[in-house]
Amino acid sequence: MTQNKETFAVPGFLANGIHAGIKQDGMKDLALIFSTVPAKASALFTKNCLKAAPVLLDMERMKTGLAQAIVANSGNANAATGSSGYNDAVAMSKSASEVLNVDDDLLLVASTGVIGHRLPLENISIGMRELVNGLRQDGLPLAAEAIMTTDKFPKIACQKGIIGSKEITVCGVAKGAGMIEPHMATMLAFVITDADIDSRILKTVFKEAADRSFNAITVDGCMSTNDTAIILANGIAGNKQLRSSSANTSLFKEMLFHVMSDLSRHIVRDGEGATKVIDIFIDKAKSVEDAKRIAYAIANSNLVKTAFYGCDPNWGRIIAAAGSAGVQFPIDNLTLYIENIPVFTHGCRTE
C-alpha cells in the first residue's frame, strides 16, 4: 500500500473547481467530482437537528445507494433558508445534471459557508458549464481548493494498493478548520475509489472508518448544520467484488481508513487558532463509549488546551478533565503518560 503524492487521481473519476462568483474575494467556490459511470454511494450527515437544505436533499437521494456526481459550493451554506433553500439545492443539482447529461437523481449536493443566505443561482448556473468543461483526471486538488472556507490549505489524501491482481485507488478531499467536533461538524469530505465493492459492505466500512477518523477529532467543540461525508465507488478497477469476511475487504478497509485519517489530521492541523495537534489514547476503559467520553472531556477542556498552547505539561488539568467526563473509575487505577513519560501513576504524581 503506497501513498501517491504526485498525482491525486482515481480511474473513472474527473474533477474540477472554479470561481463562480459565490465568494466576493475571487477565490474558487464551486467544485465538481464526476464518475464516468454511476457509482455505489454511501454518506454520513450532521447530527444537528437544524440540517441545511443540501443535507436534506442528499439524505433523500441516498436511499438509492447510487450517485454519479457531487457538486459543492463554498461561501454560502444554504442553511436556515427554508423551503426556498431546498428548492435552490434542487436547482443547483439540476444545473449540473443538465450540463453533464446525467440523471438528476444521481447528483449529490453540498454547501458550506455563511448561514442564512440564498444561493446565487444565476452565478452557479453560468459557472456550471465552465466547471464541467474543465473536468480533468487530475482535478481533485482544484475541487479541494473550491470547498475551502476558513481553511488555510486544501486537504487531500490518496492511497494505492493491490487487491487480488488489480490496483485499487482511494482518494479523498475535505474541508474544515473551525467548528470541528463529532460528528463531522462543519466538515465536507468526499472520498472516491475505483474498487468494486458490495453496497452493504461499502456502507459498513465507510461508517467504521469515519468513527475512527472524522468522528474522533475535535477543534472547538461546535456542531454545524452542513457536515457531510460521501464515498463513491465506481468499480472500474475490475477487481473481484469485495464482500464481507475477506482479506481483500480488510485491505480495502485499511486503505480507506488511512485516507480518511489523513484528511482528519489535516483538518485538526488547520483548526482555527490551532498551533498543535494532540493525540489522546485511552487504554483499558470499560467500553469504547467510556473511552470516547473521557477523551473528549480532555480534548474539549479549555484549561487543557491553554496548557498545551503554552507548552505546559499540566497533568493536573488533564486528570481533572478526565474525571469530569461522567465515567466512574477509581483514581488509584489512573496512570497518565505525556510523550511516553509517566507523570501520574496509580493515583499519585510520579516521583
Beta-strand relationship, 66-76 and 30-45:
antiparallel
Residue 179: the pLDDT is 44
Q: In whole angstroms, what is the distance from residue 277 CA to residue 279 CA?
A: 7
Rg over CA atoms, the chain: 21
Q: In whole angstroms, what is the distance from residue 120 CA to residue 139 CA?
A: 24
Q: In whole angstroms, what is the distance from residue 234 CA to residue 40 CA?
A: 6
Q: How would you list the strands of the sheet with 348-349, edge to edge?
A: 336-338, 341-345, 348-349
Q: How many CB atoms lie within 10 A of CB 272?
A: 13
What is the percent of the chain where pLDDT is above 70?
Answer: 91
Residue 307: the pLDDT is 82
Residue 214: the pLDDT is 81
Q: Domains in the chain, please, with CATH?
A: 13-269 (3.60.70.12), 288-349 (3.10.20.340)
Q: Is 186 a catalytic residue?
A: yes
Q: In whole angstroms, what is the distance from residue 281 CA to residue 322 CA?
A: 12
Collect all residues with Cβ–Cβ distance below 8 Å to 137 and sequence separation of at least 6. 9, 13, 14
Contact assessment for residue 111 and residue 78, using Cβ atoms and an 8 Å cutoff: yes
Residue 219: the pLDDT is 57
Give pLDDT tens digits for 275-293: 677 788 888 888 888 888 8
Give pLDDT tens digits for 100-154: 999 999 999 999 999 999 999 999 999 999 999 999 999 999 999 999 998 889 9
Contact assessment for residue 90 and residue 108, using Cβ atoms and an 8 Å cutoff: no
User: What is the pLDDT averaged over residues 170-179?
Assistant: 81
Q: In whole angstroms, what is the distance from residue 325 CA to residue 346 CA?
A: 19
What is the percent of the chain where pLDDT is above 90?
Answer: 60
Which of the two residues, 311 and 125, has the higher pLDDT score? 125
Side chain identity at residue 347, one-letter code: G
Upper half-sphere CA count for residue 196 (Cβ side, 13 Å): 10
Give pLDDT tens digits for 209-219: 998 888 766 65
Q: Contacts for 331-339 with beta carbons within 8 Å, 24 or more apart?
A: 338/313, 339/313
- Which of 149, 169, 186, 193 does the annotation list as catalytic? 186
Beta strands per DSSP E along the chain: 13-18, 30-45, 66-76, 107-114, 155-163, 166-175, 188-193, 228-233, 336-338, 341-345, 348-349
Alpha carbon of residue 296 to chain centroid: 19
